[in-house]
Amino acid sequence: MIDYAIARENMIESQVRPNGITDARVIDAMAEIPRELFVPSAIKSLAYMDEDVPLAIGNDGKKRHLMEPMTFARMLQAAAIQPNECVLDIGCASGYSSAVLARLAQLVVAVEETQELAEAANENLLRLEINNVAVFNASMSEGHRAEAPYDVIIINGRAGQVPESLLSQLGDGGRLVVVVGTTDTAQALVYTKTGDVIASRYAFDASIPMLPGFEKADPGFVF
């Protein structure tokens, strides 16, 4: 039988720390949240592998995944989330990303368009008694304008290009972190908003699955 506490510690020591993660808050949050609760029972043994874990088939018939720990941790560190900030979690799937973000931010607004996954996210967060996350079953590419502007936006999957609809929901000083590219090898970028100006900077290379609905460039926004 797998000792998941040991598996979680091994994830931190073999996948997170060795890949440049020095933010103690990120490390502590990932060390605390039981990742195995967020994957299907039949594949719980895969919860801590250093790969993207398959979760379900989305509304569009495409596979959804739990992002590999290393890339997720590096995205969180690049976002530099502060305890008083509000985070928009795009594509929260079964809720793991939101559970970790809940340890870093004051409020997390999670958007998941696959109803089965949105329901699972709510159940998982309730089981862990996490009460600073609101999950919405809605279009991921549209975000959630009702709670905007956001200090941080995290996109849980690769995007061909970031929709203007999400960038417009950033507040002044806000950061959006996403892996951008049309091929498996892509780049994690940090978009920042200062006044009305949005800039981007390279953070690191990454290879994660495309998030459904983010495949094509948005013709309404050219960066």
pLDDT of residue 181: 95
Pair of tokens at residue 96: 């793991």
Contact status, residue 124 vs residue 177, Cβ threshold 8 Å: no
pLDDT digits (tens, 9 = 90+) for 97-151: 999 999 999 999 999 999 999 999 999 999 999 999 999 999 999 999 999 999 9
C-alpha of 23 from chain center = 17
C-alpha of 192 from chain center = 17
Q: Report the DSSP pairing between strands 63-66 and 53-57.
A: antiparallel
Q: Other C-beta atoms within 10 Å of 209: how many?
A: 18
CA–CA dist 50, 210 (Å, integer): 17
Position 65: which residue type?
H
pLDDT of residue 1: 80
DSSP label of 52: P
Give the closest residue to 93 by CA, choosing from 107, 79, 77, 72. Answer: 72
pLDDT of residue 219: 46
C-alpha of 95 from chain center = 9
pLDDT of residue 215: 86
CA–CA dist 87, 80 (Å, integer): 11
The rounded average pLDDT for each run of 10 residues, N- to C-terminus, in the chain (223 residues) is: 94 96 98 97 93 79 88 98 98 97 98 95 98 97 97 97 95 98 94 96 96 71 47
Burial of 48 (0-12, 13-18, 19+ CB in 10 A): buried
CA–CA dist 203, 65 (Å, integer): 22
pLDDT of residue 222: 46
The answer to whether the bond into 149 is cis (omega within 30° of 0) is yes
The domain locations on the chain are: 4-206
Q: Other C-beta atoms within 10 Å of 185: how many?
A: 8
Give the count of alpha carbons within 13 A of 84, CB side only.
0
Distances (CA, A) of 192 to 50, 167, 203: 29, 9, 12
Domain 4-206 - what CATH class? alpha beta
pLDDT of residue 63: 83
